[in-house]
Amino acid sequence: IRTQVGIVGAGPAGLMLAHLLGRSGVETVVVDNRTRHDIETTIRAGILEHGSVRMLLDNDISDRVLTDGYEHEGIELRFDGQGHRIDFADLVGESVWLYPQTDVFIDLAAARERDGGDVRYGVTDTRVENVLDAPAIEFTDADGVDWRVECDYLVGADGSRSICRRELPESMRRSYFREYPFAWFGILCEAPPSAPELIYAKSPHGFALISQRTDTVQRMYFQCEKDVDVDSWSDEQIWDELQRRVDGDGFELKRGNVFEKTVLPFRSFVCEPLRHGRLFLAGDAGHTVPPTGAKGLNLALADVAILHRALADHYETGSTTGIDAYSDTALQRVWKAQHFSYWMTSMLHESPESNAFDRKRQLGELTSVVSSRAGSTWLAEAYTGWPQR
Ligand code: DHB
């Protein structure tokens, strides 16, 4: 079959791009080796920048974020046993929304189905070829039928283990990496929220993040060793560990049954450029951020906003200005988000490599942020999201 834009990856980036292109009259075929159920049940981050929320609302996807999501006008930074609120509404007049990535996917998948979009979940043996002149995707669908999709352009929105990224020849690809000497232990639990807003806590025992999901389900994380065996931790050990990282001024976590435990990998990665011939990379296929600050999904959607405008403009006017600029334009935001995620991570975590000086310096850094309107404003601007261009 033939289409205009072939998209590998039906996560939020791939489906959002297909949806936006569909509204601009551009045809797409999206393939993913995961089933719809697999994607829907993979737990990811939960914070949407205001720009990501606008994308859902302004493009007739769903307004469920307004009813099922929660608007947050600030966060708490907690260190030395005390909380310090960063007031986004006051500092930058913006907010973020607690609305899990799985719900963004559910909304996009339903919108594609409603609009008759061609999305093939659960495919196998996906291959891409000829990205320089005549791109094609080959795969076997869930019923065992072989397909070949020929397209004008190919988009790799296929996550951190992207097969599309391999089509950038080694000779012209630059990869930038940073590993961290720790990971996150993530839990879901049945409990009421412990606080009105998210808490990012630094303690001598390491970092903890008290996040939320609903009135009855909460999401929390704590810094742990990379090779931790989550099943060897009892609920009580988990709660004691979380509690000692937020201790001080009498603050108590509301405990409950822990029904999900996972380790989150911690890595910074950028592939440059994000384009080769007729292939474009978007989202995790092109870059990965550590989870602190929840930039991954938001960055993927920002890539897609740029790529949509570039491709829609190309199909409408024949101009290649937008597609030629895609990689450079997207990478500007990518590197800002890389810096922010790295900065939040390094400011809040205990590194096995640090000494007493480093730990005191981190506290000086946190004090600088919370005691200065300029410092807090920068954090608020980055956290709520820079304007999409
Ligand atoms: C969540 C994850 C994050 O990495 C973050 O910075 C904030 C919230 C979450 O899953 O709720």
Alpha helices in 24-142 (DSSP H): 36-40, 50-58, 64-68, 88-92, 101-114
Going by alpha carbons, the residue nearest to atom 5 of ligand 1 is 294
Is 12 noted as a catalytic residue in this protein? no
Q: Is 83 touching ligand 1 by the criterion CB < 6 Å?
A: no
Nearest CA owner, ligand 1 atom 6: 293
Q: Could you please report the per-residue DSSP string of 118-153?
A: EEE-S-EEEEEE-TTTS-EEEEE-TTS-EEEEEEEE
Q: What are the residues whose beta carbons fall under 8 Å from the beta carbon of 323, sequence distance 6 or more? A: 153, 275, 280, 310, 311, 314
- Region 276-288: what's the mean pLDDT? 98
Tell me the best of 198, 214, 297, 343 to mutate to test the pocket of ligand 1, counting ligand atoms within 8 Å of each CB and taking the most: 198
Q: CB of 290 closer than 6 A to ligand 1?
A: no
Q: Is the CB of 224 under 6 A from ligand 1?
A: no
Q: Is 72 in the pocket of ligand 1 (CB under 6 A)?
A: no
CA distance 25 to 17: 12
Q: Is pLDDT above 80 for 156?
A: yes
Catalytic residue among 202, 287, 295, 314: 295
Place 387 in a pLDDT band, splitting at 50, 70 and 90: confident
Of ligand 1's listed atoms, the one at least distance from the Cα of 293 is 6
Nearest-CA residue for atom 2 of ligand 1: 45
- The model carries a pTM of 0.97
Q: Is the CB of 382 under 6 A from ligand 1?
A: no
The answer on pLDDT for 5 being more than 80 is yes
C-alpha dihedral sign at 285, 12, 42, 201? positive
Task: State the alpha helices, DSSP H only, in 192-320.
Answer: 235-246, 296-317
pLDDT tens-digit readout, 120-141: 999 999 999 999 999 999 999 9
Q: Is the CB of 45 under 6 A from ligand 1?
A: yes
Q: Which two tokens stand for residue 37?
A: 């159920």
Residue ranges and CATH numbers for the domains of the chain are 2-73+95-177+268-349 (3.50.50.60), 183-264 (3.30.9.10)
The Cα–Cα gap between 45 and 179 comes to 20
Out of 72, 75, 211, 292, mutate this one to test ligand 1's pocket (max ligand atoms within 8 Å of CB): namely 211
Beta strands 124-129 and 174-179, pairing class: unpaired
Cis peptide before 100 (omega within 30 of 0): no
Q: Is 383 assigned a catalytic role?
A: yes
- What's residue 43's pLDDT? 86
Q: Give the side-chain half-sphere CA count within 13 A for 368.
A: 9
Q: Whose CA is nearest to atom 11 of ligand 1?
A: 46
DSSP state, residue 308: H
How does pLDDT run across 343-379, given as a tens digit for each residue? 999 999 999 989 999 999 999 999 999 999 999 999 9
Quick one: which atom of ligand 1 is closest to the CA of 45?
10
If you search the block for the tokens 């996972």, which residue do you land on? Answer: 262
- Bridge partners of 59, per DSSP, are none
Q: What is the mean pLDDT of the chain?
A: 97
Active-site choice (153, 200, 221, 326): 200
Task: Tell me the per-residue pLDDT of 85-108, one tens digit each, with 9 for 90 and over.
Answer: 999 999 999 999 999 999 999 999
Rounded Cα distance, 242 and 253, in Å: 8
**Helix, strand, or coil (residue 201):** strand
200 is catalytic: yes
* Smallest CA separation from ligand 1 atom 7, residue: 294
Residue range 179-191: mean pLDDT, rounded: 97
CB of 219 within 6 A of ligand 1: the answer is yes
Average pLDDT over residues 235-245: 98
Number of CB atoms found within 10 A of residue 387's CB: 9
Banded pLDDT at 382 (limits 50, 70, 90)? very high
Is the predicted pLDDT of residue 81 greater than 90, yes or no? yes
**134 CA distance to ligand 1 middle (Å):** 40
Residue 389: predicted pLDDT: 63
Is 176 known to be catalytic?
Answer: no
Residues 6+ apart with CB under 8 A from 122: 32, 33, 34, 35, 36, 38, 141, 142
Looking at residue 121, what is its pLDDT? 98
135 is catalytic: no
Q: Report whether pLDDT(240) > 80.
A: yes
Question: How is residue 169 annotated by DSSP?
Answer: -
Distance 291 CA to ligand 1 centre (A): 7
Q: Which residues contact 274 (CB under 8 A, 6 or more apart)?
A: 280, 281, 282, 286, 303, 326, 327, 330, 331
| Nearest ligand 1 atom, CA 344 | 6
Cβ of 187 closer than 6 Å to ligand 1, yes or no, is no
Q: How much of the chain exceeds pLDDT 70, in percent?
A: 100
Strand order in the sheet with 267-272: 174-179, 267-272, 287-288
Mean pLDDT of 303-308: 98
| pLDDT for residue 265 | 86
Atom of ligand 1 nearest to the CA of 186: 10
The alpha carbon of 28 and the centre of ligand 1 are apart by a number of angstroms equal to: 31
